[in-house]
Structure formats: structure tokens, C-alpha cells
Amino acid sequence: MSFSARLYHPEMEKEAFWGLNWQSTDPKVPPELNSGTAAAALLPQRLLSLNWNQPMSCDAGFESAVSSAVVGQTGSICNSGEISPSSRRRGASNSCYSSPLNSPPKLNGRGALPMPINPMPGAHSVPFAAEPWFADGAAMLSNYGGGSSAGFPGQFGLPVIPANLSRVSSSKSLKTGTGSGMGAPEKGSDAGMLGPARMEMEMMTKLGGSSTPADSEPGNGQEESSVSSLRGVTDSNARKRKAAAKGKGKEASLSYAATDPFTMTEEENSDAKRSKPGEANGKMKTEQNGDPGRKQPPEPPKDYIHVRARRGQATDAHSLAERVRREKISKRMKFLQDLVPGCNKVTGKAVMLDEIINYVQSLQRQVEFLSMKLATLNPQLDDMESILSKDMFQARGLMPQPVYPAEMTSAAVSNVHQPQATPGQSIVTSLLEAQFSLNPLESSLHQSQSLQLVPLDGFTVASSQLGEFWEDDLQSVAQVGYGRDQKPAFSSQSYPGKRNGTPIFD
């Protein structure tokens, strides 16, 4: 089977990667993986196979979406991991968790990984879903800190691949490590992990035990075992890694929620950190890893905001919360960008905000201007209310019951008045046509050029609703409108001077 062919096929996305196909190709993978740098390239696949073979649940997830799969997986993983903190190395779920994250960096430095991986478009294509995940850190690996299933390493590794080749390598190392033995000290796993690695990387290496990348890649069976061993690594390793990673980055956000064991890992973390720089090849942030002195305080207290930590980011609770907050804000800014016309080219929060402010100001000015115009215009609105209310009846009644068109049309016809008898009618007609285009029914109504429709029997309910609706709205408007005329409760409403702030409210 063309294993390599598969790897390099972009279309071989999830299905190919995640599927059982991998298993069949597993035998090929190990030898390839073991081959030096080539292994790095194959790592992602390895990861895929590794993870894919493992838990069935993983497969299901993958098909839907990497990120969703990951999330689902992590969820289960976390739980298991949290429950069994003692099973550091053994906790299957845990290992998966952190390993994928940390694995890539461990294997090769960032610099090293990209090269071998490049020829693998498939790998890149696969993690599509993960990319934004990694890129934005938006992926919510629920229960990250918890157990990690074996499937994780693969899952994480995959998405990571395009984003961080280092991760791939680390995952690979992870596998090797697990294959070699769970008991492998964290140091070993850490050794060779790259510098820029985020805590995830560290975790990966730890999980892997021996961090030798491209080591003895076990065969299929080994993969499975390694996967299981990954799991076995459990959260303890992950936690250690995470703790170690804390020193590295700015905002780590892995939620280590369950883990007290993190505290213990101080030393290990330092070890990991030290070892990491050693292995780092082309890490971008080598200095972070290489700084053993950078020890973060023990894992923050249970922080159940499950956010994925990015490379080189701190993992304490504050950073985590900040990270979540930042992502929320960026999400909303994006939404605003769509709302405000002409903001697509604008980049940068400050400029965007300026645009938004200008837009809101212009809208408010428009409202003011139009209201002035309406005041002078004095449209014929006499019939409008009745017309509109009837339209409301129809609209409300008809929307859930599209069957009425025929009846409505006939009713409309029966009440035909002169076409556009009054400007009010025409106003409403054009208004509705132009702006609201509720449904084809309405157009038929307009065609009949009459909006004077007798409310059908079925609309009695709507009418009562409308009545209430009328009342409260009318009341408030009356208060507003009559502010000046009525003395007791309302004071005169005059607006001295120019309005600069929010219109009519200041």
C-alpha cells in the first residue's frame, strides 16, 4: 500500500488519517519513523495512526472534526486523568492529553520539523480543523489537565503538525517513549524536547518517557502499546510538563483543573526544562525552555476554563482567564467587523474600534437627520397604523401557516380599494416591499394594491397580542412624545445646545 502516497495526499484527510487504514500502514511507519529526520516527517502520520488505532471514540470524533474530536476526547481524558492522578505514567488518558501537545517540539526543533513535514500535504490538510484550534488557542480541550486518552497524542499531534511541526516530533518521541517504557523518567522524556515547546511539549516528552525521537518506532503492536503507554503516562506527566511549561510562556491555558500532582513536579519541571533545551533543535523559543530558572508557581488551583495553551504561554489561572477573555473579545471584534461595512481590510484593534465608533456615530447622526426630515415631511400616516396592524395580523398569522396565501389573496381582492388610495398606504406598501419582504404572500397582497384586509378569523389571537403590544409601546411613546405637554410626570423636553454624546439621552 502506498503509505507514503497516502501521507502525501491532501485529500487524505481525516478519513484516511484517522481511519483504520493507518493501522495497516503501521508496519511501514515505524521503519520510516525511525529513519532520522524522515521520521519527523512521518511523525504526524504516526501520530495519526497511533491515535487512530486506539480508542474507538477517537475515530468517531475525527470524522466529524478534529477539534470536536479532540474536545470530546479531552473531555473523557480529563476525567479519567483527574480521577487517577496517581497513575502518572499509567493513566492512559492523561498521557494522550499532554503528549500531543508536547510531543512535536520534543522531537525536533521547530526548525527541524517543518522541513520533513512539508512534503506531506496530507498532514497539513488534516489538521485543518485543528489549525484554527492551535492558531487561536480556541480549542477547548475540555479537561485538558485530566486524563488523556491514548487517542489524544495522535489527535493533538495531527492538528499540531501543520501549526507546529515540533509537536509532531514530540508526539513521536512520546510514542517512542511510551513504547520504551512508561517508567521512563521525565527527564528522559524531557531531554531533547525543544525549547519553544509549550508546556504541552513538555508534557508530551514526559509522557513519552524516552524522548529520543525517531527511536525505535514500534510496530503496530508497539504503537498500540505506546499509545496505551501514553495513556499510562497519565496526567502526572502531563502535569509535570505543564508545570514546567509554565515557566516558559506567557499564557498557558491548559486547564490543569484536577491536578494537585502538579505541585510535586516542581523539580521535574525544572528537569524537563533543562532537558528540553538540550533537545531543542530549531526551536523558536529556545530561550524559554532553556531557562531553567523560569519556574512558575505550582499549577493554579482548579481552573475549569478549558482552553488550550499555546506555545510558550503561561498556564497559571490568571493567564488562562485572560486568554479566554482575549479570545472572547477577538471573537466579538470579528463579529463587529462583519457588521461594520468596510472593515474587512482594516486590521488592528485600534483602527477597528475607530471604525466602529465612527459607524455608530454616523448611524446616530442619520437617525437624527431622518427624524428631522420626518418631522418636516409630515407623511400621511393616518391609515398607516391600521394598515400596519392588519399587516401585522397577517404576517403573524401567516408566517406559521403559509397555507393561507390563497385565502389572503382573495381577502385582499375582496377589499380592493383604489390602487394606492392614500400615500400612507403606498408608504406602507413600499416600505414592506422594499425592506421586509416577509414572504411571497405579502407580495401578492401588494399586487392587489390593497392593504385593507379584513383580519381573518384565525388571527384573533394575533390581534390580542397586537393589542398588548400596542398598549405598552404606545404608552411609552406617548410618554416620550408628550413629555412636554403633560406636566405632572413629565418635564419639558428641550435639548439645549448641540448634541455630542449619545443623542437624546444626554
Closest CB to another protein among residues 287, 327: 327
Phi/psi of residue 293, nearest 5 degrees: -70, -15
Nearest distance, CB of residue 103 and another protein, angstroms: 34
Closest CB to another protein among residues 293, 496: 496
Phi/psi of residue 260, nearest 5 degrees: -75, -35
Closest CB to another protein among residues 56, 399: 399
CB-CB neighbours of 489 under 10 Å: 8
Nearest distance, CB of residue 31 and another protein, angstroms: 52
Nearest distance, CB of residue 16 and another protein, angstroms: 37
Closest CB to another protein among residues 42, 462: 462
Q: With contact defined as beta carbons under 8 Å apart, do 98 and 204 qualify? A: yes
Residue 430 CA to residue 118 CA, distance in Å, equals 59
What b/e readout covers 366-398, taking b as 16+ CB neighbours within 10 angstroms?
eeeeeeeeeeeeeeeeebbeebbbbbbbbbbbb
Residue 49 CA to residue 454 CA, distance in Å, equals 69
C-alpha cell at 196: 519553544
Nearest distance, CB of residue 347 and another protein, angstroms: 15
Closest CB to another protein among residues 1, 370: 370
Nearest distance, CB of residue 364 and another protein, angstroms: 7
Nearest distance, CB of residue 370 and another protein, angstroms: 4
Nearest distance, CB of residue 397 and another protein, angstroms: 12
Question: What angle (nearest 5°) sits at the alpha carbon of residue 109, between those of residues 105 and 113?
Answer: 90
Residue 349 CA to residue 344 CA, distance in Å, equals 12
Residue 323 CA to residue 313 CA, distance in Å, equals 10
Closest CB to another protein among residues 342, 496: 496
Nearest distance, CB of residue 315 and another protein, angstroms: 22
Closest CB to another protein among residues 60, 305: 305
Residue 234 CA to residue 310 CA, distance in Å, equals 20
What is the dihedral angle through the alpha carbons of 151, 152, 154, 156, rounded to the nearest 10 degrees? Answer: 160
Closest CB to another protein among residues 293, 506: 506
Residue 221 CA to residue 471 CA, distance in Å, equals 75
